[in-house]
Structure formats: structure tokens, C-alpha cells
Structure 1
Amino acid sequence: MTILRQIAQLGQPVLRQETELVGDPADRALQALIDDMLATMAEANGVGIAAPQVYEPLRLFVVASRPNPRYPQAPAMEPTPMLNPEILWQSDEIEKGWEGCLSVPGIRGMVPRSLRIGVRYLSRTGQVCDDELSGFIARVFQHEYDHISGMVFLDRVASSRDLISEREYLRLVSA
């Protein structure tokens, strides 16, 4: 049975702690956690969620870009659980873009990220996957990767002048 989990908010220690490698991908508890994360993220209109955000200090996150009220221009993709993800390489080309976070509600920040990245992760069935990601999906991966590294997007914002309210962000993207 899928459970909507509580999302850890900024200030919760789990968002800043070291995460542990995921063991057996076939573990029932792990598969249930992935299902819970997918449901929790969808309910909150997220485009990704990391295990620490649901109080589990594991190297696991979901990338699930899709247009929704929080990200109206997001490209659509199948939700993809990523176990023990790694960034293999990053392009030198950096792009600043607005980011928000389910753990930091009400605030958006202009965050610099690599435009293209090479990644490796295990699928939820344990298959090794190597991908090249670009644009918004690369941004989501890097955002979630920060979560499993004890960081939040605010750590990457160059200046407090690069922060705006969620309401102002939504006004900007719908203009």
C-alpha cells in the first residue's frame, strides 16, 4: 500500500546529513519506499524527490519532469527512480535557471547548473544505466543529487538578490 510521506522542511537535519548507498534493489522495503516517493512527489507537484526529503538518508532519488502548476514549461518524461546515482562528467557550459524545492516551500532561486551531464545509476530493477542528460532534466538531476549530498538549492544561489517568492516566479513564467 502506497503511503504519502511527510516532506522534510529546511532545518530538518536529514537534509544535511551523509546518505548511504542503497543495497539490494529488489528489497521489498526499498521498492515500497520508491512507490511512496513517486506518490508523494506527484501529490506535491514536484518534478523530482530525493530519499532524504522523506526522512530516508539513502542515495536514491526520482527524476520525473512533467508540466504541472509549479513547473508549467517542464518537458514530459517517465518518472525514473535512480539508485546510487553518480555524475560522471559535466559540461563547461553553465546555465542559470529558476529552481524551487518541496523542502523549501514558497521560495525560488536562480541557480547555476551544468547544461549537460553524463550520469550512471541503477534502475529500480538493478540495471546499470548510463545516460547523457541536458537542459531541464539535467537541472533536476543535479538538484536531486545535491539532496543526497546534504545540500539544498539555496547553497548554490550566488546572491540573496537571486531569490524570489513562489508567487512572483509563477507570475513571471505565465507572463
Structure 2
Amino acid sequence: MAVRRILTIDNPADLQVLKQVSTPVAAVDDDVRALMDDMLETMYAAPGIGLAAVQIGDTRRVVVMDLGDGEPDPDAEDGEDARRPNPRYFANPEVLWASDELFAYEEGCLSIPEYFDEVKRPARVRVAYLDREGQRIEEEIEGLYAVCFQHELDHLNGVLFIDHLSRLRRERAVAKVKKTQRERAAA
């Protein structure tokens, strides 16, 4: 496993890759599982709760997530509400159905560092994907799980969460990321 560089919107070459539509995987094999492992390690190191393969420059339709909703960790320090990791793996994810009801959530993105804004998405979705073993799964999801799934699926379709914002808010996001990255480089 390896931590990979996450592409960011302030780099024109990165942005060009991030805007590509990802290609389906033929099967979940050892190569795809190795990619999933690298993605998970990269996501945890960032830290984040979801990562699409395109965010590390691989244009296959692969996503990983860990929403911090694992079982309570009995070895956690006193007073700490720690949870065991609960990684989720998705190859060729798709939305089969979406509710008319919307859910607003303040989203962030590892490719748009330190910028957050509210996005409205369907509150519930029925999804399908191949899991880490290549088994097809269908389930209805809601809440943060649904938000994250749709956010990462957007990445696979060349869409960033800021593309759901007004032009002014999108331009503000890009400017903020560029400023933050310049400040980091100067430090």
C-alpha cells in the first residue's frame, strides 16, 4: 500500500484529469484491490471520508469511503468516542433511483482543500456497485452515506462539488484554494 498524491483544482494539469469521465473496470481483480488499498491509505492520511480513483490520477470507476461509523472501539482511551475503521469499496458505482426530497450538507473535498459549501442532493438513493470481492450489491442509502456516494460518483463523471454552486461561489472557491496553496508553498 502507498499514499498517493491527491490532485487539486489549483493545478491546471490536475484539473484536466479531474474533469475526465472515468472508465468502468472489467472486473474487481488483484490490481483493482491494490488500487483500493492505496486509495484508502491516501484517504486516511489526508484525512478524508471518501476518495475517487480519479483524484489520484487513475481514471477507473473506483471509490473508497470510511464515514467513521464503525463499531465502537473497546480499546479507545477513556472519554474518547473512537470507532473502528469501516472501509467501504465501490467499483462501477451507479445511482439507480433518487428521491425527490433533497438533503443539504456542507461538503468539502480533498481536491478542493480547505473549502466547504452547502450542496443539495437527493436525500435517499438506490445504488448499485461491485464490492471488494466483485459481488454486485444494491442498496438504498440516505444521510451522509448518500451524500458521500453521490459526491464521489460525481468525481467519476468529471464533476466537482463546486460545479453544483453558483458561478460566483465556484470562482470564490477556486480563488481561495489557489491562495491557500500559494501560502503553503511560500511557508
Output the TM-score relative to the length of structure 1.
0.83
Residue of structure 2 equivalent to 1:8: 7
CA–CA distance in structure 1, aligned partners of residues 85 and 128 of structure 2: 18
For structure 2, the 5+ residue unaligned runs are 70-82, 178-187
Residue of structure 2 equivalent to 1:45: 47
**Aligned residue pairs, count:** 157
Of 48, 53, 64, which residue of structure 2 is paired with 1:62? 64
CA–CA distance in structure 2, aligned partners of residues 17 and 133 of structure 1: 26
CA–CA distance in structure 1, aligned partners of residues 94 and 110 of structure 2: 22
Structure 1 ranges of 4+ moved more than 6 A: 162-166
CA–CA distance in structure 1, aligned partners of residues 117 and 85 of structure 2: 24
CA–CA distance in structure 2, aligned partners of residues 15 and 80 of structure 1: 22
Question: Residue 112 of structure 1 contacts residue 157 of structure 1 at CA under 8 Å; is this kept in 2?
Answer: no
For structure 1, the 5+ residue unaligned runs are 68-74, 167-175
CA–CA distance in structure 2, aligned partners of residues 97 and 157 of structure 1: 13
Residue of structure 1 equivalent to 2:28: 25
Of 124, 148, 152, which residue of structure 1 is paired with 2:156? 148
**Would the alpha carbon gap of residues 78 and 32 (structure 1) be closer, same or farther in structure 2, given more than 3 Å must change?**
same
Q: Which has the larger radius of gyration?
A: 2
CA–CA distance in structure 1, aligned partners of residues 59 and 164 of structure 2: 21
SS of equivalent to 1:133: strand
Residue of structure 1 equivalent to 2:75: none
**Would the alpha carbon gap of residues 161 and 154 (structure 1) be closer, same or farther in structure 2, given more than 3 Å must change?**
closer
Shift of 1:77: 7.1
Residue of structure 2 equivalent to 1:126: 134
Residue of structure 2 equivalent to 1:34: 36
Residue of structure 2 equivalent to 1:71: none
CA–CA distance in structure 2, aligned partners of residues 14 and 76 of structure 1: 33
CA RMSD of aligned residues (A): 2.2
Per-residue CA deviations over 1:40-99 (Å, capped at 9, x if unaligned) read 0011121100000010001110121127xxxxxxx9872111000110000000122100
Of 98, 103, 126, which residue of structure 2 is paired with 1:95? 103
Question: Residue 40 of structure 2 contacts residue 65 of structure 2 at CA under 8 Å; is this kept in 1?
Answer: no
Identical pairs, percent: 38
Shift of 1:24: 2.1
**Would the alpha carbon gap of residues 119 and 7 (structure 1) be closer, same or farther in structure 2, given more than 3 Å must change?**
same
Output the TM-score relative to the length of structure 2.
0.78
CA–CA distance in structure 2, aligned partners of residues 53 and 76 of structure 1: 25
